[in-house]
Amino acid sequence: MGWDCKECGAEENPDESIECYSCLFLLFHPLKLVSADTGRESKKIKLKLAFGKKLLDEFAGEDAQFASEPQFRVFPNPLKQWVLETVQSVKNPTFINGSEPIEDQTVLHQGDIISIGSRRGNEDKMKLMVHVEG
């Protein structure tokens, strides 16, 4: 079966594929993370990307110092949703919307807040808002 690309017309892209084999058109919208502290944005994320102290330091402000290398990964799943996957060996856990620390993977939604905090529940650091373009 497969799907036809609405960008270039290429036929029979595999159903499980998230991009066109011919023109690399994506079936989902790119993601950006916006720092609540600095107002700066990450670069557009189109495929799997690991976020750690070095990359976060470029736009997330001084609280990036609390991140590990890497801290978390984001990637699109076959359902065309963005997913955040945590790294198990981090010094400070990753939170979504201030809830319990993320232990494995969670689907991201427009406006979600990703933060880093301590296991003791101290103030969250490095708040990043999820922005799905499109």
Kindly report the CATH number assigned to the domain that includes residue 81.
2.60.200.20
Q: What is the spatial distance between Cα 62 and Cα 125, in angstroms, rounded to a whole number?
A: 9
100 lies in some domain: yes
Per-residue pLDDT of the chain (134 residues), as tens digits, is 788 888 899 988 888 777 888 888 877 788 999 998 899 999 989 888 999 999 999 999 999 999 999 999 999 887 889 999 999 889 899 999 988 888 899 999 999 999 998 765 557 889 999 999 87
Domain of 127? 31-132
54 lies in some domain: yes
Cut 0.95: pTM above it? no
Torsion (CA) 112, 85, 33, 121 in degrees, nearest 10: 60
118 lies in some domain: yes
